[in-house]
Amino acid sequence: MKLRRETEVAIAILVACARSNDCRLKTADAAKVAETTTDFAAHVVLKLVNAGFLKTKRGRNGGLELSGSANAISLCDVICRVDDQRPAASGRIKAKDEQVKYRPLSQIILGANNAIQTYLDLFSIADLAKIEGRSEAGEFREGSGKIRERRPAKRDLAVSSNF
């Protein structure tokens, strides 16, 4: 299963909103987090608002915020609503004659699709926010499953401020 760039940006924006500690997030800041342009982020934000995942507020204290709990938003829901389709393992067989001929294969693909949807329903935006928070605190090593903490930056103590 391959996600479209739009879906990846949508998930990144939702995770950024979940990690913003109940503060509204500017679209430009969400675009930086998602590593995309502000215009494309605004396009994706509109889809997320129409899908009911985000609320927006205009004005000086405006920005983006989750419309509900990050725990209530599953990855499967985001993929389905942003892509306008269910996550799938493969394309569907369309011709009726081919469906009869490849019925066992169709059943296997349907089972794989159901497994993907069930697995994605296990994870929420809050889960991704926790995982990204841990990976920013340190480096995740794939083979070991351990996180190595980053060392704090060394600061020159001789520099003083007049303020």
* Burial of residue 3 (number of CB atoms within 10 Å: 0-12, 13-18, 19+): middle
* 51 closest CA partner among 92, 6, 19, 91: 6
* 127 closest CA partner among 8, 14, 21, 30: 14
User: Which domains are assigned to the chain?
Assistant: 5-86+124-141 (1.10.10.10)
Instruction: Write down the pLDDT at residue 151.
Output: 42
pLDDT at residue 97 above 60? no
Band of the pLDDT at 85, cuts 50, 70, 90? Answer: low
pTM: 0.70
Owner of token pair 């004659």:
97
pLDDT tens per residue across span 52-73 = 999 999 988 889 999 989 999 9
Q: CA-CA distances (angstroms) from residue 125 to 27, 49, 100? A: 18, 16, 40
